[in-house]
């Protein structure tokens, strides 16, 4: 069987903004791609009613998944209703067990929006619960025993809620797939049109490219990059497991300063 990667984020377009380049490259490397937005995009409009915007954003998310070559799993809740509660943990655990990923791509533990941070926390726990036979998922899925390595994307804006720059521990060169990443993001037409109207033509796409260029500059090697931080291995995988580097090889660069800082005081 092919290895799988699962990307989980809060809202439709979060994956395309901060993770899609790495996903595309993993697809090229032979991984099955899975994506999931926990929320349905119900608040992402200034004009549509709830049901209209939910329908629009689900269609756009499906289009984006097709552009990435990924299978998309349906959302669970409305925007702003992502909370660390048992029901959502059980539902998300079912998705993790079904996809059985060896790589899990997640949002940053610190970000500008609570939905993002709650989505991250839920996904980490769902991965931790993947093999617990006495934690029932909804719908019921058999526990899985595969190792899974968790990586956290950069926060939107590349800074935490206190405006501090967040440096990644690993850079992934997305220069060769930047156009595909842009095309996938552009599938979220309702968001692009809204921001084009309020902030200027193509501001939505320009913001993504500017962040990728900034992370590329930090790498000292790539013109455009996505940044990642590896989660603790405890309960998930081996201490030295780093399948993202193994899969993408020369398209990755370790941030040596970040890694050195992790061991200070040890």
Task: Render 56-124 in DSSP notation, one character per residue.
Answer: HHHHHHHHHHHHHT-EEEPP-B-TT-----HHHHHHHHHHHHHH--SEEEE--SS-SSHHHHHHHHHHH
Mean pLDDT of 205-225: 96
Query: Residue holding tokens 């084009």?
Result: 196
- Residue 265 clears pLDDT 60, i.e. is over it: no
CA 191 and chain centroid, separation: 18
Domain that residue 198 falls in: 4-263
pLDDT tens by residue, 167-183? 999 999 999 999 999 99
Banded pLDDT at 44 (limits 50, 70, 90) = confident
pLDDT at 199: 64
Whether the CB-CB separation of 162 and 14 falls below 8 Å is answered with no
Banded pLDDT at 197 (limits 50, 70, 90) = low
Mean pLDDT of 68-86: 98
What CATH number should be reported for the domain holding residue 181? 3.40.50.10320
97, 183, 184 from 24: Cα distances, Å: 22, 12, 10
- In the predicted model, what is the mean pLDDT of the chain? 95
pLDDT tens by residue, 235-255? 999 999 999 999 999 999 999
Mean pLDDT of 227-233: 98
Whether the CB-CB separation of 20 and 185 falls below 8 Å is answered with yes
Angle among Cα 91, 4, 19 to the nearest 5 degrees reads 80
Enumerate the H helices of the chain as residue ranges.
Answer: 14-18, 20-28, 50-68, 86-99, 114-128, 178-186, 189-199, 203-219, 243-248, 256-263
Mean pLDDT of 72-99: 98
pLDDT tens by residue, 2-26? 999 999 999 999 999 999 999 999 9
Which of 227, 222, 91 is CA-nearest to residue 157? 227
Q: Give the whole-angstrom CA distance, residue 173 versus residue 225.
A: 5
Mean pLDDT of 162-170: 97
- Residue 216 clears pLDDT 90, i.e. is over it: yes
- Number of separate domains in the chain: 1
Q: Give the whole-angstrom CA distance, residue 51 versus residue 175.
A: 37
Mean pLDDT of 188-216: 83
Token pair of 135 as six digits: 């934690």
pLDDT at 217: 98
- Residue 200 clears pLDDT 70, i.e. is over it: no
pLDDT tens by residue, 92-115? 999 999 999 999 999 999 999 999
Q: Give the whole-angstrom CA distance, residue 83 versus residue 127.
A: 16
Q: Is the dihedral of CA 118, 121, 125, 126 positive or negative?
A: positive
Among 80-94, 190-204, 224-238, name the one with the lowest average pLDDT.
190-204
Mean pLDDT of 67-77: 98
Banded pLDDT at 192 (limits 50, 70, 90) = confident
How many C-beta atoms lie closer than 10 Å to residue 260's C-beta?
9
pLDDT at 3: 98
Distant-in-sequence, close-in-space partners of 124: CB < 8 Å, separation ≥ 6: 106, 150, 231
Which of 18, 29, 259 is CA-nearest to residue 155? 18
The secondary structure element, H or E, covering residue 5 is strand 4-9
pLDDT at 79: 96
């Amino acid at each position: 069987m092919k290895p799988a990667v699962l990307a989980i984020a809060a809202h439709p377009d979060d994956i395309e903004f901060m993770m899609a380049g790495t996903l595309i490259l993993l697809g090229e490397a032979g991984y099955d791609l899975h994506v999931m937005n926990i929320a349905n995009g119900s608040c992402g409009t200034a004009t549509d009613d709830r049901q209209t915007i939910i329908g629009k954003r689900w269609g756009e998310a499906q289009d984006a998944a097709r552009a990435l070559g990924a299978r998309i799993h349906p959302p669970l809740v409305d925007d702003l209703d992502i909370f660390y509660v048992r029901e959502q943990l059980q539902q998300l655990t079912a998705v993790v067990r079904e996809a059985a990923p060896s790589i899990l791509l997640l949002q940053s533990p610190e970000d500008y929006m609570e939905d993002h941070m709650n989505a991250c926390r839920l996904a980490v726990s769902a991965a931790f619960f993947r093999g617990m036979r006495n934690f029932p998922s909804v719908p019921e899925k058999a526990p899985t025993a595969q190792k899974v390595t968790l990586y956290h994307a950069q926060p939107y804006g590349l800074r935490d809620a206190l405006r501090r720059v967040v440096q990644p521990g690993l850079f992934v060169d997305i220069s060769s797939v930047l156009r595909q990443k842009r095309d996938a993001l552009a599938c979220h037409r309702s968001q692009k049109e809204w921001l084009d109207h309020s902030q200027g033509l193509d501001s939505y796409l320009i913001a993504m490219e500017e962040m990728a260029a900034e992370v590329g500059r930090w790498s000292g090697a790539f013109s455009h990059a996505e940044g990642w931080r590896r989660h603790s291995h405890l309960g998930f995988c081996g201490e030295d497991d780093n399948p993202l580097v193994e899969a993408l090889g020369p398209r990755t660069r370790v941030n040596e300063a970040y890694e050195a800082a992790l061991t200070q005081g040890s």
